[in-house]
Chain A
Amino acid sequence: MAEEVLAPIPGKITKIFVKPGDNVLEEQEVLLLEAMKMDNPIFAPCSGKVKEILVKEGEEVELDRVLLIIE
């Protein structure tokens, strides 16, 4: 049961708070997405283990880009 975390708005990834293999809880802050000069926190949609992080800090992402996968 893998859940993809998608970018809800286009922007730049400024900070990633987790690594692959970390356990996360639902609604835990996993990364910061900068858009419109604001740092927007992205929260985990479910509890689980971070399987893969598909973006890097500093990367520009478009709407609906897969950011990380939690299982």
Chain B
Amino acid sequence: MVEAVLNGLGGLVAGFQALALDWRSVVMLVVGGILLYLGIKKDCEPLLLVPIGFGCILVNVPLSDLMAKDGFLRVIYDAGVDTELFPLLIFIGIGAMTDFGPVLAQPSTFLLGAAGQFGIFLTLLMALFFGFTKLEAVSIGIIGACDGPTAIYVTSKYAPHLLGAVSVAAYSYMALVPVIQPPIMRALTTQAERQTVMKYKTRPVSKTTKILFPLVITVLGGLIAPKGLPLLGSIMLGNLMRESGVVSRLTKASENEIANVVTLFLGLCIGATMSGAAFLKPQTLVILGLGFVAICLDTVCGVLFAKGMRVLTGGKINPLIGAAGISAFPMAARVVQREGIKYNKKSYLLMHAMGANAGGQVGSVIAAAVMLSVLAGMGIIS
């Protein structure tokens, strides 16, 4: 009887013994702590880093089985990440928050949204070169979409073993956009180009246009690239609800309650994929590196394309707005506005940058949709 009790008590130290045997769990507990520190103390994307950091800690305490078959993290993961439901729900909220007015008023800014996605494809090629499989390369390239839900959707569907690395890379670099972009913007432009003043002309966009836009894009986009319809349809649903003006309860719920609840669960699940065995591999470092490169290339392509547009319009375009063509909305547009005013106090690029940024939002989804549909056409995915 005494033996049985002693054995039972021995169970209380089993956890510490297991921890001592597995250095990777210890490292990941520290990583989780670092993410929490960045989120709480440094105010770096706390809405994501706090649940991710804590989920990472939970899953790396040995013997706790939270991600085992009936563990509570596994249940949430299977319900929302495995089914790709969570990123799509967040996307509805993002569509509800996005105003495509500036893009519709100046459709040429949409082209910048397309140019800003080239980093995705270039990074995909580099990932292939590094030896990743086609599906892994797509998931790594999509970090360049600068779009959390899109990256999570693609990765959880086609390369779920990379989910931890890809999402940490995607969200960390999105937070670093204000740091990564300005030096690239400066390096690729001349002082005269940076100082170009772009006058904001409002071309009033009719309500009908704003309602037809999400509808048309969904159907057209879905016909061209059906694999991307879940993503495209979700963001456009949110936008349609917003522009219709008649379902403000649903729109508000999408932007607030739904988006907040899902963000919490999604963050936890991402953290839950960061077990030591899965995360601490050399390829994680490569993914983090490639993700960084993807965003840099996006910025380079956007700015260079904007320079080309400048030449074609006889000097009217400030190439700095090209940097807003990435999907980090609205951060990239704000970066462009701050940089523009730094070089010329009369320059207000905000509205043009917002147009490019909103265009980038759609562009990144379309880029993902096209990639997936091409892969489906090649027979690589069903």
B333, A36: Cβ atoms under 8 Å? yes
A54 within 8 A of B: no
Quick one: which of B294-345 are within 8 Å of A by CB? 330, 333-334, 337, 341, 345
Q: Is the CB of B346 within 8 A of A38?
A: no
Q: Are A10 and B202 in contact (CB under 8 A)?
A: yes
- The answer to whether B350 touches A45, judged by C-beta atoms less than 8 angstroms apart, is no
A45-B346 in contact (CB<8A): yes
How many residues from B make CB contacts under 8 Å with A?
Answer: 13
Question: In whole angstroms, how far apart are the Cα atoms of A48 and B213 in the complex?
Answer: 47
Taking CB atoms, residues of chain B closer than 8 Å to A37 are 330
> What distance in Å separates the Cβ of A25 from its nearest Cβ neighbour in chain B?
12
Kindly state whether residue A27 has any CB partner on chain B within 8 Å.
Answer: yes
Asked whether, in the complex, the Cβ of B350 is within 8 Å of the Cβ of A35, the reply is yes
Most buried by A among B330, B333, B348: B348
A-B contact count (CB 8 A): 31
Known: A8-B346, A27-B345. 12 other contacts (CB 8 A): A8-B200, A9-B348, A9-B351, A10-B202, A36-B330, A36-B333, A36-B354, A38-B337, A38-B350, A40-B341, A41-B341, A45-B346
Contact A43 B345 (CB under 8 A): yes
CB distance from B60 to the nearest CB of A (A): 37
When each residue 26-46 of chain A gets 1 if its CB lies under 8 Å from chain B and 0 otherwise, what string results? 010000000111101101010
Residues of A near B341 (CB, < 8 A) are: 40-41
Residues of chain A contacted by B346 (CB below 8 angstroms): 8, 43, 45
Q: Say if the beta carbon of A1 comes within 8 Å of chain B.
A: no
Cβ–Cβ contact A38 & B345, under 8 A: no
Given A8-B200, A9-B200: A40 in contact with B350 (beta carbons within 8 A): yes
Most buried by A among B202, B330, B350: B350
Min distance, Cβ A65 to any Cβ of chain B, angstroms: 12
* Chain A neighbourhood of B350, CB < 8 A: 9, 35-36, 38, 40
Residues of B within 8 A of A43 (CB): 345-346
Least CB distance, A26 to chain B, in whole angstroms = 9
Does A40 contact B345, Cβ atoms closer than 8 Å? no
Some 25 contacts from A to B, beta carbons below 8 A apart, are: A8-B200, A8-B346, A8-B348, A9-B200, A9-B348, A9-B350, A9-B351, A10-B202, A27-B345, A35-B351, A36-B330, A36-B333, A36-B334, A36-B351, A36-B354, A37-B330, A38-B334, A38-B350, A40-B337, A40-B341, A40-B348, A40-B350, A41-B341, A45-B346, A63-B202
Q: Tell me the bound Cα distance from A41 to B351 in angstroms.
A: 15
Q: CB-CB < 8 A to B334: which residues of A?
A: 36, 38
Residue on A nearest B330 in the bound complex, by CB: A36
Instruction: List B contacts of A8 (CB < 8 A).
Output: 200, 346, 348
CA distance A9 to B346 in the complex (A): 12
In the complex the two chains form, what is the Cα distance from A40 to B351 in whole Å?
12
A37 to B99, CA, bound (A): 13
